[in-house]
Structures are given as structure tokens and as C-alpha cells.
Structure 1
């Protein structure tokens, strides 16, 4: 089984990413169950604006799209900025919009029989809003989002320290992250034999 974590931090490599630090908890739980985990830090790639699967010369999205479709599990990891997912997250979701009209050899949407979840960090409130926005988009595209397929860490309203700098709440975020991994694996196994039906014409 394969998982892809798309880290939508605004920080290019090799800068330290708080979002990656929490996503690593989920990755470790997946790996412990035999899942092969791959990573993409979206900001490191030239993902062109648009809603097509290939926006032409120099577009890095087609290769990332291939990684998504080669995975059983997709995790979108994002910081919170101004109470919303990062702009990089929005770019990734906009590019995934093309999948709404793309089908596999059986006529099913290409995202069918794949599961997805969300990791969110931030030193301000809004985690549930961020998770809801991303999960809603992923469901629209055709992914199955299991119950409690998310984890987050934040410091409440207003500015404050980052995840890496403040150990408060880490135990809860880690426990929730491990549960997230278990739920993603369980549902991915249930869908592994192409359980989602072909939509009616």
C-alpha cells in the first residue's frame, strides 16, 4: 500500500516546516503498518495556475498528479494562514479540479477507491474550518474521507509559538494522528478491490 503526503507549507526546502513535523507522526504510523510513504513539498515545484492536468511547458503538476494516482492514500498537510488553508493548498486543490472529469478504464472518476486525510498546524484558531474546506474539496473530486482522518495542532486565537517550539498538546495531536493513520489504512484496504461502483451514465 502506498501513501503520498503533499506538504503545502509556504516554506521552500530546506527550511524547517512545522506542518511536516506533525505529518511525520502520521507517516511513522503508516510506515509501521507497512505502508510506503512518499512526500511532495508543493512549494518546491513549479505548479502552474489553472484547472487542467497539464498546463504546458515547465508545469510540474503532471508528475505530482501521477504520484497521487499511484497512491492508495493521499494526505494534504497545510498550515493555517488568516484562518484558511495556505495559498499553496488552494493551488494544489485547483489543479486537482481536473480530476472531476477524468475517468479510469472502468469509467469511474480517477480518484475513486482512494482515501484522503488532512494534517493542519498553526498558531491561530481555525483548524476545523481548514479541515472542512479541504475534506469537502477532496470528497467532491472523488476521494473517500474516513471518519476522523485528520489531526491538527494550534495554539488558539491570536499569534503564538509554532508546533516545533511548543510541546503543549503534542500528545493529543500524536494520538489523533495515529488514529488517523489507522482509519486511512482500514478504509483503503476495504476499497482495495475496486469497491466503488461505476457511476450511472
Structure 2
């Protein structure tokens, strides 16, 4: 899921997407497992570091509640530093860091997706 940082919080669009996906909690597959089981998720935050960790934790928490598996280092964001400053497009600061965390994110998402495909999660105990 991708979202901007908006005054240190997820945007209303990101919140709305999570609220719509909340309906997935009660949906099950043919093995009586939540439909989000065996699906991985990560977060990309557009914007500077100021508030990015909070936005990531809010979105990851919601995705986890819905049933998605969140691998370690399943996020990246613009690393311009806190507070106002130049637009990310106007400087090279932090681009290497964002790219390397993005590559780590992609690798971890793929590795966990492959692991879940080989060993699916069981249905929750009733």
C-alpha cells in the first residue's frame, strides 16, 4: 500500500482504503481461512521522514488486523529528514537509502510470499 504523509498521519485516502479492506476480515476462502491469509503486504510512504514511521505503523497495523502477513523491513519512505525542506525531486539526498530499503522490501515480500505459497497458514482455531 502506498500513502503520503499528511500532517504526520496517513492520508484520508489511505484510511479509507483500510476501512474498505476491513470488510475482508469476515470473508473466508473455501478452507474457512480469512481471504487475506497467505498474502503479503508492505508500505511505501511518499514524503519525508517526518511522520513516516507513524504512517507505516498505522497502515501495517491495519493490514495485519485484516490478515495480511507483514515481513520484516516491508516498508520504505523518502528520507529527506524531518521538517520542511526542498522537494525530493530537487535533490539527491536520501535517494540511495530509499532505493536500498525499497529493494530490501521487495526481496522480503517475495521471500515471504514464496514461503506462504509452499506452507500456507492454517485456518484459525475456532
| CA RMSD between the two structures | 1.3
**Structure 2 gap ranges (5+):** none
TM-score (normalizing by structure 1): 0.60
Matched residues in 1 for 2:125 and 2:13: separation?
A: 34
When residues 95 and 194 of structure 1 are mapped into structure 2, their CA distance, relative to the original with a 3 A threshold, is: farther
SS of the residue 1:132 aligns to: helix
More strand per residue = 1
Matched residues in 2 for 1:80 and 1:121: separation?
A: 6
* 1:190 aligned to which of 107, 115, 118: 115
Instruction: Judge conservation of contact 2:43–2:74 (CA < 8 Å) in 1.
Output: yes
SS of the residue 2:2 aligns to: strand
More helix per residue = 2
Map Cα deviations across residues 129-156 of structure 1 (whole Å, 9 max, x no partner). Answer: 1111100000000000000011111433
**Residue of structure 2 in register with 1:112 after alignment:** 37
Instruction: Judge conservation of contact 1:121–1:163 (CA < 8 Å) in 2.
Output: no
- Higher RCO (C-alpha 8 Å, min separation 6): 2
Map Cα deviations across residues 69-127 of structure 1 (whole Å, 9 max, x no partner). Answer: xxxxxxx0111010011111011000001011110111000000000000012146011
TM-score (normalizing by structure 2): 0.94
Q: How many residues align?
A: 126
Instruction: Judge conservation of contact 1:113–1:191 (CA < 8 Å) in 2.
Output: yes
SS of the residue 1:95 aligns to: helix
